[in-house]
Chains A and B, each alone.
Chain A
Amino acid sequence: MTTLTEAPPSDADGLLPSKKKSSGGGLGTYILVRFFLILPTMFILVTMVFFLMRVIGDPITAAQGGRLPPDVLAQRIHDAGYDRPILVQYFEYLGQVATGNFGTTITDRRPVVAMLATFGTATLELAINAVIVALLVGIPLGMIAAHRRDKAPDAVLRFFAILCYATPVFFAGLLLKLTFSVWLGWLPVAGRASTRTELAMGSLAAPTGVYWLDALRSGNMTALGDVMAHAVLPAVALGLLTAGVFLRLVRTNLIGTLGKDYVEAGRSRGVSEFRLVTKHAYKPALIPIITVMGLQIALLLGGAVLTETTFEWKGLGYQLVQYLNARDFVAVQGIVVLLAVIVAVTNFVVDVFAALIDPRVRY
C-alpha cells in the first residue's frame, strides 16, 4: 500500500494545529481509498459468479428444461435474451447490478430485490442474535482464559474453543434440538415463529421483518415470547461457532496487553485483578479484537446458510438452498452477490472503525 498522508490543500493555511493536519487529512483520504477498494472486490465476485453460473447453461433451460416443449423453451430463452453472446449479457448484467436491478426469479417470478429484502431481514435477525450469544459467551470466557493463562481453566476453555470450531453448526443444532425440543420439550423444534404468530406478523402495517422488533412495536407479548422461544436454539447453534473464535481472540490479545508495564503498575497500586483484566488490559486490546471480529462476518454468513437449513429458518441461506435445488440461477446469483456485498461493506466499515479508534492505523 502506498502512503496517503499528504495534507489536503485546505490545511495549508495553518488553521489547524500542525499535529492534526496530517492525521485529519490522512483519515479522510484513507476512508476514501478504502472505499474504492471495495469496487474491485465486488467486481471480481460479480464477474466470477456470473460466469460460473453461465458455465452450466442458460438459466431457463436449467430451471425448466425437460418440463417445457423445446419450441416454448427456445421462445422463453429468446424473450429473456439468453441467446445473445455471453459478453453482451455480462455487460448488461453489470449495468443492471450497478443500478440495483437483479432481475426476476425464474421459479416464482418475483423481483430478486424484493425476495432479498424479505429473506434478508430473517437472516439479519439470526445474525444479530448469534452475535449477541457469541459476545456474551466469548468475551467473558476469553478474559478468564487470559487471566488464568496456562492453568486448568485456560486449558479447559481453549479446548472448548477448539470444540466450538470442530462442531459443525448443523450437528450442534441437531444436539440442541434433541435435548431441548425433543427430550425436555422446552423449546420449539424449528421455524421462526408458530403459525399464529407468523400470521399476526404478516398482517402488521409496515413490518420491519425482524420479528422481535415487530412484536415489540405492536405490543403483542405472546407473540414476542413465541418469537424469542424460536430464536434461542438457532442463535445458540450459530453463536457458539463464532463464540469459539471470539474466545481465542480475546484471550490472545489480552495476554498481550496483560504483560505490559502499565498493568503491572496498576497492580502495584492496588487495582483489583478484575478491574485490571476488564478495563486496563481489555480496552487497548479492543482494536485487534474488533478488526478480526468484523472479518468473521464471512464465517457467520456461511454458518447462517447451514443454521437456517437446520432450523428451517426462512432466511437467505434457507432460500438459497431451495433455489439451488430448483436450479433457479437468477435468484441464486442475486443472493450470492448480496452476500458478497455484505462481506465487502462490513470489511470496509471495520477498517474505518479501526482507523477511527487508533490513529496509527493508516496505510
Chain B
Amino acid sequence: MNATTVSGRKQPLIYRLPVISHFRKSIGLQRGMLVTGLVLTIAFLLTTVLAPVIAPYGYSQLSDASGTFPAQQAPSGNHILGTTVGGYDVFSRVIWGSQTAVVVIVVAVAMSIFLGVALGLLSGYFGGWLDRVLVVIADAIYAFPSLLLAIVMSIVISRGQSSFWGGILACSFAIAVVFVPQYFRVIRAETIRLKAEPFVESAKVVGASSIRIMGRHIFKNATRTLPLIFTLNASEAILTLAGLGFLGFGIEPSSAAEWGFDLNKAMADASSGIWWTGVFPGAAIVLTVLGLTLVGESMNDLNDPRLRGRKSAGGKVPGGGGGSDARTGAQAALEAEARTL
C-alpha cells in the first residue's frame, strides 16, 4: 500500500503525490477508470469554485427584474432546467448544491480524521482496557446502519436548526460519527504494527515522550492509506448528506442548496410527470459520487500490486503467479471492499 514507487533513486516530489503517482502506474482500463473519475471530480470542484459565475440566480432566489419565477415551469430559455414547485431555478440550485456538498465533505471528513486518528493512536499505542472499550464501541457503531445513526445524530444536534452553518455542522457531525470507527480501525491496526518496529524502540530509549512518539514517529507512518479512505468517504458523505436531506433532516432550502432536499420535494412532482425537478439534482449526486468512487477504486487497485495491470503482461493477466497469490489478492480487495461499504 505504499504510495511511492519502489526504486533506488527518489522520484521528484510531484511524481510521489498520491493521485499523480497512481496515474503514472496505471495502464489500459485502469487508467481509463482513473481518468474518468478525475475528470468528473475536477468538474465537480470547478463547479464549486465557479458557482457564483455559472449559476444565473441565487439558490434561494424567487424573482428577478422581470418578476417572480413561475412554479414548476418546464426547461426553457429563462430557466434552462426549469423551476421547482417552490419557484426556485433548478439549474442554479444544482450548481450551488455542489458548494454545500464540498463544505460538508471537508468538515465531516476533517472531524472524523481528527477524532479517528487521535483515538486510533491512543488505543493502539497504549492498549489495555482503553483499547478494548474503544474497539467494542467502534465495532458496535460500525455494525449499525450508518444512515440511521446519522439521522439520530442530526436530530440530536440540530433540533430543527436551519441556519447555514448550523445545518452544515449538524450534517457534518452526523456523518463524522459514522466515519470515526473506520479511521480508528485503520490507524489502530497500523499503530499496533508500528509499535513493534525498532525505530519506536530506539525513540523510547532516547527518552522521547509517548506523545512525541505517537505524534511524530507513528503518525507519519500510519497515515499512508488515508488518501484512499478519504476519497471513498467523500463519496459516502455525499450519499449520507443526500439521504438526510431526502428524509427532511438536512439543511433548509432557504439557507443552502442541497440536492437530497430537492429530490425530496421532487418526489411529489414525479407522480404528475414533472421530471426536471428531480432528474437534475439526482444526476448531480450520481456524477459526483461516481467520480470520487472511480478515483478511490482505481487508487485502491493500483496500491495493490496483485490487482494492478502490468505494462508488459502480454495481454493476459491470469490473476498473479500461483493460486495462493491470487487468493490473497482477492482477500485484500475484499477487505478494501468491506471498508468501502
A residues contacting B by CB (< 8 A) are: 40-41, 44-45, 48-49, 52-53, 55-56, 149-150, 155, 158-159, 162-163, 165-168, 170-171, 174-175, 177-178, 181-183, 189-190, 245, 248-249, 252-253, 255-261, 288, 292, 295-296, 298-299, 301-303, 305-306, 309-310, 320-321, 324-325, 332, 336, 339-340, 343-344, 347
Contacts and interface: CB of A to CB of B under 8 A. Distances in A.
B136 A253 contact: no
Given A178-B270, A256-B326, A45 B155 contact: no
Interface string B297-341: 100000000000100000001111001001101110110011001
Interface string B210-245: 000000000000000000000000010001001100
B330 A255 contact: yes
B285 A168 contact: yes
Contact of A302 (B145, B289, B294, B317): B145
B66 interface: no
A49 B152 contact: yes
Contacts of A49: 152
A204 B306 CA distance: 58
Contact of A252 (B28, B29, B318, B334): B334
Contacts of B282: 167-168, 171, 174-175
B334 A253 contact: yes
26 contacts: A41-B136, A49-B152, A162-B290, A162-B297, A163-B290, A168-B242, A168-B260, A170-B242, A171-B278, A171-B285, A178-B275, A249-B337, A253-B334, A255-B326, A259-B323, A260-B326, A288-B331, A288-B334, A292-B334, A295-B341, A302-B145, A303-B147, A324-B249, A325-B248, A340-B144, A343-B143
A349 to B, nearest CB: 13
B143 A168 contact: no
Given A253-B330, A306-B147, A259 B318 contact: yes
B249 to A, nearest CB: 7
B151 interface: yes
A62 to B, nearest CB: 9
Interface in B105-150: 136-137, 139-141, 143-148
Interface of B: 28-29, 32-33, 136-137, 139-141, 143-148, 151-153, 155-156, 159, 235, 239, 242-243, 246-249, 260, 263-264, 266-267, 270-273, 275, 278-279, 282, 285-286, 289-290, 293-294, 297, 309, 317-320, 323, 326-327, 329-331, 333-334, 337-338, 341
Contact of B140 (A44, A305, A310): A44
Interface of A is mostly: helix
A110 B318 CA distance: 60
Contacts of B137: 44
Contacts of A171: 263, 278, 282, 285-286
B247 A309 contact: yes
Contact of B341 (A181, A245, A339): A245
A255 B248 contact: no
Given A253-B330, A332-B152, 16 more contacts: A41-B136, A48-B141, A53-B152, A55-B156, A149-B317, A166-B289, A174-B267, A189-B270, A245-B341, A249-B334, A252-B333, A252-B334, A256-B329, A302-B148, A321-B247, A336-B148
Contacts of B32: 155
A41 B28 CA distance: 45
Interface of B is mostly: helix
Contacts of B159: 56
Nearest to A154: B29
A256 B139 contact: no
A281 to B, nearest CB: 11
A261 B323 contact: yes
Contacts of B323: 259-261
B246 A309 contact: yes
Contacts of B28: 150
A30 B2 CA distance: 37
Contacts of A48: 140-141
Given A56-B159, A150-B309, A168-B242, A343 B271 contact: no
B152 A52 contact: yes
Nearest to A173: B267
A245 B281 CA distance: 24
B110 to A, nearest CB: 23
B243 A298 contact: no
A237 B101 CA distance: 24
A165 to B, nearest CB: 6
B278 A174 contact: yes
A309 to B, nearest CB: 6
A118 B318 CA distance: 52
B245 to A, nearest CB: 10
Contacts of B136: 40-41, 44
Nearest to A301: B145
Contact of B270 (A53, A163, A174, A302): A174
Nearest to B30: A150
Nearest to B271: A189
Contact of A52 (B156, B317, B326, B334): B156
A66 B92 CA distance: 38
Given A56-B156, A256-B326, A174 B266 contact: yes
